[in-house]
């Protein structure tokens, strides 16, 4: 702007003088120089009469600047401003659509209806194909499971445009990760840590073969629960004698998978909350275990009983540590997005609702491969090894909270972060299911609403209400406030015992 203002005040003859060129050079270099790194920029003044300044990488006016160059610049500037305004308008429109309840309803209809269709196909294959050929059943079920899970990943990967930054030894990562069975140990602090874990699996082309531990009641929940059941996830009854047998039997079956399989264990057993953390610290003091600041005390029995069945197989343990940077006000530049951030500013942690509104998050994922040979075979030593691992994970989490870096204060060897290539498969899968489900569903609902009968109109409203309720229920299940009651009972018992001891002292 200073250069243009200066040029407007001089004549055509003065513009061609060395003095004019010198002044413009100083103005442009003062604004655009960035250390010793050259930066090539078109300033829009005298397109055909510019020359590069050596060492600066910016363009300066030549000695033969034509009269009327500033007018030409104004025309170009107005065109660029028009394009910029158009792009901002489109961006605001997309952001406004993403927070529309109608689009949320359409996504819910697509997911729940397609999920039921997939469950029916899985059920037929489970009883019709699996007894004769587990290999064929697992091959087909991989694609069915992927088709369902990837619709959830679509929410993070494409709808909210979120990302995962992976920190790992790149050479070892490329050599082993995704090419062997993996036993993943992951912290469980956030509402969406499981979703970003799926995100990571999608980037590694392993989403359809993700398995997990879950309580037995979940297998009776339609869609995801049934998909996990047919996908051979490990369901536990919270009775150690029964669970030990279940773990042994199912892991023996899982390691025979024809393709690489990842089994996820959140050894803390439940999501981190302050109440659960207090109960966990009390337990650690009573048992003489190390107290953790950002994790619950890990439950070792599931881990120590699983590892023996992986030995001798092409498998390894993967330490997964996930963290998110805190949201900062004013980062988004669009006014609408700023307002959306303002509405959810009190919620500092990443949530499913944020993603549903189209707000991106960035997960930072530390991945370390641990060969099974490094894990002790004796049960007590194996449990002690797991506690030591969680002390390391706690130091890394503490370092990240203080410095936004896993390695700055944790004492863990630094590895470079990198991004994994985004695949379009989850987007195509969701679009195809949307077309298959929403077109006939829309025609059916339009027929109900326009037939002139109050009965059919009420039926259409009821159908939409059911999908809204299912969506709300699904989001509610991911909230930390809706997590298990572990810790609340312990806290209540502790406070009760303290009050009773005080009463005895008074007596």
Ordered by where they begin, the domains of the chain are 97-425 (3.40.1130)
Are 113 and 153 in contact, with CB atoms under 8 Å apart? no
Per-residue model confidence as pLDDT tens for the chain (507 residues): 666 666 666 666 666 666 666 666 655 554 444 444 333 333 444 333 344 333 333 333 443 334 445 566 677 777 788 888 888 888 888 888 888 888 888 899 999 999 999 999 999 999 999 999 988 999 999 999 999 999 999 999 999 989 999 999 999 999 999 889 999 999 988 888 888 889 999 999 999 999 998 888 888 888 989 999 999 999 988 788 888 888 988 998 888 877 889 999 988 888 888 889 899 999 999 988 888 999 999 999 889 999 999 988 888 999 999 999 875 543 433 444 444 444 444 346 788 888 888 888 889 999 999 999 999 999 999 999 999 999 999 999 999 999 989 999 999 999 999 999 889 999 999 999 999 999 998 888 888 878 877 887 888 888 888 887 877 777 766 655 455 555 554 444 344 343 333 333 333
Query: Which pLDDT score, from 0 to 100, does residue 60 have?
Result: 39
pTM of the shown model: 0.75
Query: Which pLDDT score, from 0 to 100, does residue 393 have?
Result: 94
Query: Which pLDDT score, from 0 to 100, does residue 13 have?
Result: 61
Q: How far apart are alpha carbons 51 and 230 in whole angstroms?
A: 68
Query: Which pLDDT score, from 0 to 100, does residue 484 have?
Result: 52
Query: Which pLDDT score, from 0 to 100, does residue 6 have?
Result: 60
Are 320 and 188 in contact, with CB atoms under 8 Å apart? no
**Hey, which residues does 183 pair with through a beta bridge?**
263, 317
Neighbours of 376 (CB within 10 A): 14
Which CA distances in Å does 436 have to 142, 153, 441, 463, 466?
21, 19, 9, 18, 20
**Pairing label, strands 315-324, 417-419:** unpaired
Neighbours of 226 (CB within 10 A): 22
Q: Which residues of 236-260 are buried (b: 16+ CB within 10 A; e: fewer)?
A: beeeeeebeebbeebbeebbebeeb
Query: Which pLDDT score, from 0 to 100, does residue 497 have?
Result: 40
DSSP per-residue letters across 63-79: S-PPTTHHHHHHHHHHH
Q: How far apart are alpha carbons 333 and 330 in whole angstroms?
A: 7
**Hey, which residues does 212 pair with through a beta bridge?**
264
Residues in the chain, total: 507
Q: How far apart are alpha carbons 236 and 100 in whole angstroms?
A: 39
Helix (H, G, I), strand (E, B) or coil at 42: coil
Are 20 and 14 in contact, with CB atoms under 8 Å apart? yes
């Amino acid at each position: 702007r200073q250069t243009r203002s200066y040029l407007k005040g001089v004549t055509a003859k003065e513009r061609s003088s060395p003095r004019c060129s010198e002044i413009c050079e100083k103005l442009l270099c003062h604004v655009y120089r960035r250390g010793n790194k050259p930066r090539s920029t078109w300033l829009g003044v005298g397109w055909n009469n510019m020359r590069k300044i050596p060492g600066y990488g910016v363009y300066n006016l030549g000695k033969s600047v034509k009269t009327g160059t500033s007018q030409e610049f104004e025309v170009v500037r107005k065109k660029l401003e028009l394009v910029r305004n158009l792009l901002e308008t489109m961006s605001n429109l997309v952001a406004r659509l993403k927070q529309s309840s109608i689009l949320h309803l359409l996504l819910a209809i697509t997911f729940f209806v397609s999920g039921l269709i997939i469950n029916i196909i899985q059920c037929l294959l489970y009883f019709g194909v699996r007894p004769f050929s587990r290999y064929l059943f697992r091959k087909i079920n991989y694609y069915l499971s992927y088709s369902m899970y990837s619709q959830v990943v679509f929410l993070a990967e494409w709808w909210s445009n979120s990302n995962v930054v992976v920190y790992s030894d790149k050479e070892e990562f490329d050599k082993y990760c995704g090419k062997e069975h993996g036993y993943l140990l992951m912290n469980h602090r956030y509402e969406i840590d499981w979703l970003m874990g799926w995100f990571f699996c999608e980037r590694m082309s392993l989403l359809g073969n993700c398995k997990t531990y879950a309580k037995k009641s979940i297998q009776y929940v339609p869609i995801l629960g049934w998909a996990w059941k047919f996908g051979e996830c490990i369901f536990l009854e919270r009775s150690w004698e029964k669970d030990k047998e279940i773990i042994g039997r199912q892991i023996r079956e899982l390691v025979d998978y024809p393709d690489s399989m990842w089994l996820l264990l959140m050894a803390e057993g439940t999501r981190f909350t302050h109440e659960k953390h207090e109960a966990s610290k009390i337990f650690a003091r009573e048992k003489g275990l190390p107290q953790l600041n950002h994790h619950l005390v890990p439950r070792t029995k599931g881990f120590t009983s699983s590892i023996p069945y992986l030995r001798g197989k092409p498998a390894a343990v993967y330490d997964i540590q996930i963290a998110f940077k805190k949201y900062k006000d004013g980062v988004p530049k669009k006014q609408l997005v700023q307002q959306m951030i303002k509405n959810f500013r009190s919620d500092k942690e990443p949530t499913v609702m944020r993603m549903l509104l189209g707000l991106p998050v960035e997960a930072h994922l530390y991945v370390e491969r641990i060969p099974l040979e490094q894990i002790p075979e004796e049960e007590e030593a194996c449990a002690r090894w797991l506690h030591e691992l969680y002390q390391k994970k706690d130091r890394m989490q503490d370092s990240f909270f203080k410095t936004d870096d896993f390695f700055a204060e944790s004492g863990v060897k630094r590895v470079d972060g990198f991004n994994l290539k985004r695949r379009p498969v989850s987007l195509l899968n969701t679009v195809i299911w949307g077309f298959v489900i929403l077109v006939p569903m829309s025609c059916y609902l339009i027929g109900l609403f326009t037939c002139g009968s109050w009965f059919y109109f009420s039926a259409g409203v009821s159908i939409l209400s059911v999908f809204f309720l299912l969506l709300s229920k699904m989001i509610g299940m991911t909230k930390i406030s809706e997590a298990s009651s572990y810790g609340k009972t312990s806290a209540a018992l502790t406070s009760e015992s303290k009050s009773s001891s005080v009463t005895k002292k008074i007596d």
